[in-house]
A and B are shown apart, each in its own frame.
Chain A
Amino acid sequence: MSMANANKAMRNVRIMRDVKARKGVLNNEVARRAYLYVARNTTLPPQVRHQAQLQLNTFDKYSRPTTVKNRCSETGRGRGIISEFALCRFQFRLRALHGELNGVRKACW
């Protein structure tokens, strides 16, 4: 799975960066959650919480879920994405008109 993702990423540097962020989130998520729990727990002593916060700050940029952005898997565009299909609006239109998207058809009334 991950290899296929990486291959896909070869098309576009922005997608590549996003894939890197996604992998980073996956690998660091449990540890980050544990530190978050300690740092945000007001019932624990402030020193411990501070230490946990410092640990949180040492994590890589590409381990934060907020660095992940849904991009168009075809063009790498970051805006106007239809997330269900991982496509930007224009690519979505092209694919839909070609009948490549199941259950999608042009509106007509």
Chain B
Amino acid sequence: MTTALSSQFKTLTRLRCEIFQTTYNPKNLRTGAKYLRARLRGPSMVNYYPQVVNVAAIAREHKGLELIDPKEHQRLEDVEDRKRRGKGNPKKAKTKADSRRAAKKR
């Protein structure tokens, strides 16, 4: 009884596959179809981070425009401030003796 039922069920499935044009795979073999069926995720992945205007890049491209990058401006100001307080970069050693002295200090 059960075998008859299952064979009928198989026929039904095959018919259904023919009608709806799906693959008849009674043994449930792994055909890798899911890798082709799945949507591509790359396009949405690339758009995750929001767009940000890069002032420095625009200024580099169009040198005629005198754009001021507020962050860069602030940084340069801070560097100047540090120099005024004597916290700037040390001078490059001109002679060997200079470099030896610098090494000793360290």
Contacts and interface: CB of A to CB of B under 8 A. Distances in A.
Q: Is the interface of B mostly helix, strand, loop or mixed?
A: loop
A9 B34 CA distance: 33
B57 A7 contact: yes
A82 interface: no
Contact of B40 (A10, A29, A36, A70): A29
Contacts of B40: 29-30, 33
Contacts, number: 75
Chain A interface size, under 10 / 10 to 19 / 20 to 34 / 35 or more: 20 to 34
B103 interface: no
Contact of A38 (B29, B32, B46, B50): B32
Given A29-B42, A30-B40, A65-B41, A1 B51 contact: yes
Nearest to A70: B48
Interface string A1-42: 111110111100001000100110111011001001111111
B50 A22 contact: no
B46 A26 contact: yes
A42 B25 CA distance: 12
Q: Is the interface of A mostly helix, strand, loop or mixed?
A: helix
B35 interface: yes
Contacts of A102: none
B19 interface: no
A73 B54 CA distance: 15
Contact of A43 (B29, B48, B53): B29
Interface of B: 29-33, 35-36, 38, 40-43, 45-54, 57
